[in-house]
Structures are given as structure tokens and as C-alpha cells.
A = this chain, B = another copy of it.
Amino acid sequence: MKFFQVKSVEETFQLINENITPLSEKVSKPLFEALHFVLAEDIEVKENVPNFRRSSVDGYAVKAADTFGSSESMPGFLNLIGEVKMGETPSRMIQMGEAMYVPTGGMLPEGSDSVIMIEHCEDISGLLNVYRQIAPNENVIAIGEDLRRGNVLLSKGTKLRPQELGALASQGIIEVAVFRKPIIGYLSSGDEIMPMETEALELGQVRDMNGITIGSQVAQWGMTFLYGGVVKDDQAELERRVRDMIEKVDCLVLSGGSSVGTKDYSVDVIQSLGDPGVYVHGISIKPGKPTILSNANGKPVIGLPGHPASAMIIFHLFGKAILDRLQGMELEEKQLTFARVTKNIPSAPGRTDFVRVRLFEKDQEWYAEPILGKSGLISTLVKSEGMIEISSENEGVYKGDLVPIRLFQ
């Protein structure tokens, strides 16, 4: 038997990255069936979003200069010349001294450069009293501010979450090229393991729990699971069943038989399936040390410890990474759950704020960078991996604060 040095967690992820070749087969999926698939090509923004200057509030489109100097005590006065209808081009343009009502999401008329909120005005028989001054572009979403034509919308290798699908929909893209999802085969080995439907166990026997836990994890990640049942501890029989199963699947999971016991031949069976073969035999982790990872002619093989909890945790950590990589994703460790914020984020007391953040690692620490942009922009969600919650008791968080992150997905 070949001896292996136990690998660290970091080395194991590194080796997974080197040993797993993504499935290259592409399939085309309508958006409503594309959730959690991985994009097989770059997609460019072909239309600006929005493709017109949009109001982000209910208010009046004006020339900002017309409001300069206006206040509660010294209101300005503008002629109200009509309203913009949702989904339509405004009927006319705005001249100096004029205002036009525009609802949230409505299009700004030509000549206007900002929108003053209805709360800050009063319509007195067609004469708009303006109680505040506003700046040019205030309450306006510029053309292409969410998605700009010519930019990369989504890169090949991106896993499609709800927000990515929304971004595709904004472009009128209703079908996408994605990588085929892998099919995962499973076999449980061990003389003591009985099928889960066994009614009465004899002493010394246990039912196969790993079939359903591993199968459910695979289902949870949106992949197909092929349950191959239980194999007795017999090298010839195990070889036959394993060879039969690996022909039908993209990745094979074996449960049990991976500890250094006297009957341990599963590493030999796994090694015999193809080259380059076993690259991890033993990980310095608790639980789950006796884990085997192999590459059999391009198909990943995972030998899990037989204990149900160890098997599930190992599969959660390394099985997920292997299957992500097999689907064409770059491996990134983004399951962390807190980070330092990169700048002060003020927040009004009495209101719970959810600030979208992008996460990055620097000098072995994780940082959360607030994604700026108006709250209605889908691109802010595409860029973000989670949210910081600033509770209603707080006036904000300070640069450098360690804060919890709610991860999307």
C-alpha cells in the first residue's frame, strides 16, 4: 500500500483545485430552469439599464437651478405643466420655471435635471410651492447607471443566483448557455451496513444513513443523485460494483472503509479506477481524518469516513468544493460569516438598514466593502455576496468594525 502524508485543509482545497477538471459540456436553459447552474460563456450588457433617465421617487421633475435658495420660509414657485405617465415618454419638455409630476420609475422629461420629492412641495391650484433646494441629478437614475452597455454583465463560471437571473431578464435574455450539472453516484460499503428499509436489525448491524444524508446534500445543491446501495466487505465485489457505477456518473462517492483497519482495501480499489489516482488520503481535520480523494481518468472519486456525522461534514466542506469545481466554478472560500467593514456606514436610528456588501480577503482577514448605488439597482445585488444588518438601535458602523454578514444563498 502506498503511504500518504496527511494533508491540511488548505492543501486539500488547493489539491482539489488542481485535480478537478470542469465538465465542458454545455446545455441551454430557459431562465426559470437555470437557477444554480454555472454560466458557460461571458455575457455582455447589450442594453443600458435603465435606458432612460428614471425618477427614484414620487415627485416633480424640475431644473435644479430653479430651486436654488428655496426653503420652508422662502418657498420657490414653479408652474405645474402636467404629469409623466408610467411607461410613456413625457408629452413635452420643461422650460425654466416649470415642473412636471413624475412617479417613482417614471421617465424624466427633456429639460429637467432632477426630481424634488412630493413631501417637499405643495401644489396650490397648479402653482407648485417648493420648500427646499435640490442639486442637479438628485433623485435621478442615469442612463446605464445600473447596467452599462458594453460592460461584462456576467462572466463565464458565475453561478446563477436569483439576482443574476434578474439581471439577465433585464436584458431580455430568456435562455442561457450553462454547464451541464454532474450526476453523482453513491455506494456504501461495510459488512455491518444494512439497507435503510431493513425492518429488524441483528446485533452488530446498523442501517445505511449516509445514503440519504449525502443524497439530500446533492439534491440541495441541485444535482442528480444515483443511489447504488450497500456492498459487503469483499474486494472483488466492491471492485465490480464501483466499476459498474463509475461508468454511469460524473463523480463517485464511497462511504465507509476508509480507516486504516485490517479490511481496508477501498483505497486500493479507488486507486485502481484510473490515473492519476489518489491525491489525498487523510486530512488533518476533526472529524473526518480518514478521507480519500482521487481523480480517476478525470472523474472525481470521494471516499468518505463511514460515521454519518463525519461523512456529512466532510461532504459539506470538500464534496461541495469538488462538485462546484466540476460544474466550472472557480473555488473560493466564501462561506465565512463575519468581516471588517471598509468604511463608516451611517444609519438612521429607529430604522433597520441592510447594506449590501462585497467580500474580499487581505492579510488573512475578511473585509466587507459596502456596495454603493441606489437601492433599486439590480447590479448592486449582482455585485454583493451578503448584507450587513445595522439594527435600529445603532447609528451606523465604523470603519474597521467586525460585523456579521448575512450571506445570500
Contacts and interface: CB of A to CB of B under 8 A. Distances in A.
Nearest to A409: B220
Contacts of A220: 35-36, 162, 409
Given A35-B216, A220-B35, A337-B405, A201 B166 contact: no
B206 A162 contact: no
Interface in A361-378: 375-378
A87 B337 contact: no
Contacts of A201: 47, 51, 172
A55 B377 CA distance: 58
Interface residues of A, number: 110
Nearest to A336: B404
A123 B350 CA distance: 72
A67 interface: no
A8 B352 contact: yes
Contacts of A83: 262
A66 to B, nearest CB: 22
Interface stretch (A131-139, A308-316, A321-329): A308-316
B285 A163 contact: no
Interface of A: 8-10, 31-32, 35-36, 47, 49-52, 58, 83, 85-89, 101, 103-107, 161-163, 165-172, 174, 190-193, 196-199, 201-217, 219-220, 227, 233, 259-263, 284-288, 306-310, 312-313, 316-317, 335-338, 350-354, 356, 375-378, 380-381, 387, 392, 402, 404-409
5 contacts: A162-B220, A167-B209, A168-B212, A169-B208, A172-B207
